[in-house]
Amino acid sequence: MSASALLDQWRDHLATGRRRSPHTVRAYVATAERLLLAIGLSDWDDVAKVSARDLRGHLATRRADGIGNVSAARELSALKGFIAYAREQVGADPGTAPRLRGPRIKKGLPRPVTPDEAVGLAEMVHGTAASDWTGKRDAAVLLLMYGAGLRIAEALSLKVDDLPLGETLVVTGKGNKQRVVPLIPVVRDAVSAYADSCPHPMEKGDPLFKGARGGALSQGIVQKAMARARKALGLPSTATPHALRHSFATHLLGLGADLRSLQELLGHASLGSTQIYTKVDAAKMLEAYRSAHPREND
């Protein structure tokens, strides 16, 4: 069996068996490919026998290449899954895969944008786009993230069948779990304006957001549009599409939303993932306090 055949099987398992996102599949397959090439593996028996020492040496090489703690931790997680899958293929217990602790990662707080900045970004991506319809498209995606708390992958997974948007939207998130999110008028209007201006056929079953040639819109296009807009507005590099989702959560919490409701709106599997926004809100209040009382810093 060739290395490419292993990777094809791993890719199919991730995409079909585990229902991973296209981005995750690409990253996990690329990580597995690096291991196969580095150690010279070509069948599931070889992969199943990879030891903690082998992994440690491979990751040390990757660290020497310049990857940081976060990337190293992600690679280790992906490789553990790959080896566990290999052990399943040869009839071994996947639970006996090498145990290796990843690097410690200090969790940083999400950096939300202000409501004015969020609206400004949507207006800027529209105003600086190559065409009016692609500008309306990119603005609609950003407003779905800020106004409804969608992940970028969730926004781009919407279908033409979801039109016309109503006051609520059923979203399919991570792990194929569904949730219902409310849609404010400005979000519905933005999506409607895009759909009305899109020059490509809007057939049932098609992706709602289309690329320039009529295929599914890629995350990279939205990310590039956001990067141009934040540069034009003088915003920091932390103003990414995902920051809009953080802003949605932080602003709702600041307005009195409870954590359980916020957890449901965001589609978090655990409340712990949602609790980080309490720290964000507290950090914002402390910053405002210090600005209003500069003597307290003396």
Q: Which position among 28, 85, 146, 277 bears the catalytic label?
A: 277
Could you confirm whether 62 is annotated as catalytic?
Answer: no
Contact (Cβ atoms closer than 8 angstroms) between residue 210 and residue 158: no
Please say if 251 is a catalytic residue: no
The active-site residue out of 26, 49, 74, 174 is: 174
- Coil, helix or strand for 146? helix
User: Alpha-carbon distance 190 to 138, whole Å?
Assistant: 10
Residue 277 a catalytic site member: yes
From CA 212, how far away is CA 201, in angstroms rounded? 12
Whether the link from the prior residue into 199 is cis, omega within 30° of 0, is no
- Catalytic site residue 242? yes
127-165 as b/e, with b when 16 or more CB fall inside 10 Å? eebeeebbbbbbbbbbbbbbbbbbbbebbbbbebeeeeb
> 62, 80, 151, 251: which is the annotated catalytic residue?
151
Where would I find the H helices in 90-131? 115-127
Catalytic member of 18, 49, 242, 284: 242
Question: 143: which 2 tokens?
Answer: 């407003």
Closest CA to 80 of 103, 101, 65, 104: 101
Hey, is 42 helix, strand or coil?
coil
Q: How many other β-carbons are positioned within 10 Å of the β-carbon of residue 80?
A: 18
Q: For residue 249, which amino acid is it?
A: A
Concerning whether 245 is annotated as a catalytic residue, the answer is yes
Q: Which of 137, 245, 246, 251 is catalytic?
A: 245
13 is catalytic: no
- Please identify every residue annotated as catalytic: 151, 174, 242, 245, 268, 277
